[in-house]
Amino acid sequence: MRGIQGLILAIGLGVAGAMFNWAYLARKTSDVEKVEFIGISSDATVNRGEKLTEEHLVPVGVPKPNVGNLKDFAYLYDVRGSLIGVPVYRTLPGGSLLLRENMKAPPPEIRFEEDLPEGTVERGIFVPFETRTFVPSLVNPGDYVDFVV
């Protein structure tokens, strides 16, 4: 019978300790000053080239001592008005942080369509190149490339 009483006492003390710990953490976290950054809402996905709307953006609070140089790479929530209506560079899944590199203008796309406006000419030239002397990862769609023949 002593074992059961000790087990009940241990469970009671464990629950009491957890409650006191929760109360302590709740009180301490209310005193922490936070810096808010722009995040993408968890129920939204912004596709490449799509313009940002107010519904896409949510504040993400980061404790001020932990911010470090994040201000150099992410947008503060205070500047969200200047980002509304701006297209994004790559697809942003819900729950991600809006970084400065995601707001570059997307590169132009080459589309070959049959129903072109009058006077528009499109052409594509495929050029083979030596892969040992050319680094394809350094060329992005829309870049101008010079070839020396």
- Tracing tokens 């995040």 back to the chain, one arrives at 39
Q: Please determine, for residue 148, whether its predicted confidence score (pLDDT) is greater than 70.
A: no
Most confident by average pLDDT, 3-7, 100-104, 136-140: 3-7
Domain coordinates in residue numbering, the chain: 1-31, 32-108
* Residue 97 · residue 39 · CB < 8 Å: yes
Most confident by average pLDDT, 9-13, 91-95, 118-122, 145-149: 9-13
pLDDT at 138: 78
- Ranges assigned E (strand) in 1-149: 34-40, 57-63
48 vs 15: CA distance, rounded Å: 49
Note the CATH architecture for domain 32-108: Alpha-Beta Complex (3.90)
The 10s digit of each residue's pLDDT in 40-50 is 998 888 888 88
- Tracing tokens 């609070």 back to the chain, one arrives at 61
Q: Please determine, for residue 1, whether its predicted confidence score (pLDDT) is greater than 60.
A: no
Q: Please determine, for residue 109, whether its predicted confidence score (pLDDT) is greater than 70.
A: no
Helices (H), the chain: 2-30
Nearest residue to 42 via CA among 111, 97, 110, 103: 97
**Is pTM beyond 0.85 here?**
no
141 vs 71: CA distance, rounded Å: 29
pLDDT at 108: 66
